[in-house]
């Protein structure tokens, strides 16, 4: 991938993720300025060819493209509010984890400051940046996304979701929700077998291929949900998705049933509403309409 040597970029925030993003830019040959609130964080990057800015203002003034990778939404405002005038005519790409509402608020703030805005969600941990499996989700200015896509692609595969600046964050957090619930399910299973002397490592060896295979069911669930017909043939009914045996076995092992009990409640609400013969995918209606 060729580097546009005319692009100058500044990275604000050199935590583990910000440092990984900046390092990828430096290695690719981009003129990269870095800033961090705590002194010393830039030393390794400077040794590789980055330029350290003494202040956030110096970093912003150094580049037309400014990447913010800070602690949280409040940190973005704390750092950039005093620099609102400096951002006029520049491009702000915010990859700080924020809520959809916060991303939209930052987009409006940037527009008021005269800056183009793109929001990004990073679906990777720092050591994955620039390697297979890393992906970044973007929304906001289409012009910014397409102009700088070669740069973004250095970090991971880049996907654009549209002009609504909150969509990347929404996808990011929705994907993380699925991940954390899956992780909790694994932890529950490991806790179940532990009293029998089974290590978490031994359980993981069985769980990994099983759960990987089960992800193939996502597309089928999606087709049913999008079609809105939970009576489609071939689905396991809610009546046969009862988790009573799993709950009982968990109790017998002396562990918490909180993880499974949550799913059981989602199932039971649909059964109680008269949908017991319909497919398991129908529990999404329980999630959409909290009890």
32: CATH = 3.40.50.720
pLDDT tens digits for the chain (291 residues)? 556 768 999 999 999 999 999 999 999 999 999 999 987 899 999 999 999 999 999 999 999 999 999 999 999 999 999 999 999 999 999 999 999 999 999 999 999 999 999 999 999 999 999 999 999 999 999 999 999 999 999 999 999 999 999 999 999 999 999 999 999 999 999 999 999 999 999 999 999 999 999 999 999 999 999 999 999 888 899 999 989 999 999 999 999 999 999 999 999 999 999 999 999 999 999 999 987
Query: Which CATH number goes with the domain that contains 202?
Result: 1.10.1040.10
Dist CA 230 CA 218 (whole Å): 15
Given the structure tokens 């949280």, which residue do they identify? 72
Q: Structural domain of residue 198, as residue ranges?
A: 171-288
Find tokens 């008021």 and name the residue.
112
Tell me: do 58 and 136 sit in the same domain.
yes
Number of domains in the chain: 2
Helix axes 167-193, 258-270, angle to 10 degrees: 120
Residue 99 has which token pair? 């809520």
Q: Same domain, yes or no, for 142 and 208?
A: no
R_g (Cα) of the chain, nearest Å: 23
Q: How far apart are CA 183 and CA 187, in angstroms?
A: 6
Local structure of residue 82 (DSSP, 8 states) = G
Return the structure tokens found at 268. Answer: 């039971």
For residue 233, being part of any structural domain is answered with yes
Where helices occur in the chain by DSSP H, the ranges are 16-27, 43-48, 56-62, 73-80, 84-87, 100-113, 142-152, 167-193, 200-214, 217-227, 244-252, 258-270, 283-288
Helix (H, G, I), strand (E, B) or coil at 158: strand
Q: Are residues 114 and 187 in the same domain?
A: no
Give the tokens for residue 108: 């409006």
Instruction: Specify if 3 maps to a domain.
Output: no
Decide if 2 is inside a domain: no
The three-class DSSP label of residue 56 is helix
CA of residue 19 relative to chain centroid, distance:
18
Strand-pair partners of 8 = 31
Q: What phi, psi does 163 have (nearest 5°)?
A: -75, -25
Domain boundary among 101, 132, 163: 163
* Residue where one domain finishes, among candidates 125, 145, 163: 163
């Amino acid at each position: 991938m060729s580097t546009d040597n005319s692009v100058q970029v500044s990275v604000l925030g050199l935590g583990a993720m910000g440092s990984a993003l900046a390092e990828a830019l430096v290695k690719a040959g981009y003129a990269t300025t870095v800033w961090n609130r705590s002194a010393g964080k830039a030393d390794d990057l400077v040794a590789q060819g980055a330029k350290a800015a003494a202040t956030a203002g110096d970093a912003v003034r150094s580049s037309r493209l400014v990447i913010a990778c800070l602690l949280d939404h409040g940190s973005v405002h704390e750092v950039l509010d005093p620099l609102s005038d400096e951002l006029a005519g520049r491009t702000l790409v915010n990859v700080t984890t924020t809520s959809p509402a916060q991303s939209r608020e930052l987009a409006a703030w940037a527009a008021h400051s005269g800056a183009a805005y793109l929001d990004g969600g990073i679906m990777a941990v720092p050591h994955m940046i620039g390697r297979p499996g890393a992906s970044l989700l973007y929304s906001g200015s289409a012009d910014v996304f397409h102009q700088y896509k070669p740069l973004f692609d250095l970090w991971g595969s880049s996907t654009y979701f549209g002009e609504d600046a909150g969509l990347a964050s929404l996808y990011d957090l929705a994907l993380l929700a699925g991940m954390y619930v899956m992780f909790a399910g694994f932890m529950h299973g490991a806790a179940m077998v532990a009293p029998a002397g089974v290590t978490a490592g031994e359980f993981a060896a069985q769980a990994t291929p099983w759960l990987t295979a089960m992800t193939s069911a996502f597309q089928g669930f999606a087709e049913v949900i999008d079609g809105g017909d939970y009576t489609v043939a071939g689905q396991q009914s809610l009546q046969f998705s009862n988790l009573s045996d799993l709950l009982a076995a968990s109790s017998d092992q002396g562990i918490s049933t909180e993880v499974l009990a949550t799913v059981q409640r989602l199932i039971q609400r649909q059964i109680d509403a008269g949908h017991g013969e319909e497919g398991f995918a129908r529990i999404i209606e329980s999630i959409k309409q909290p009890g």
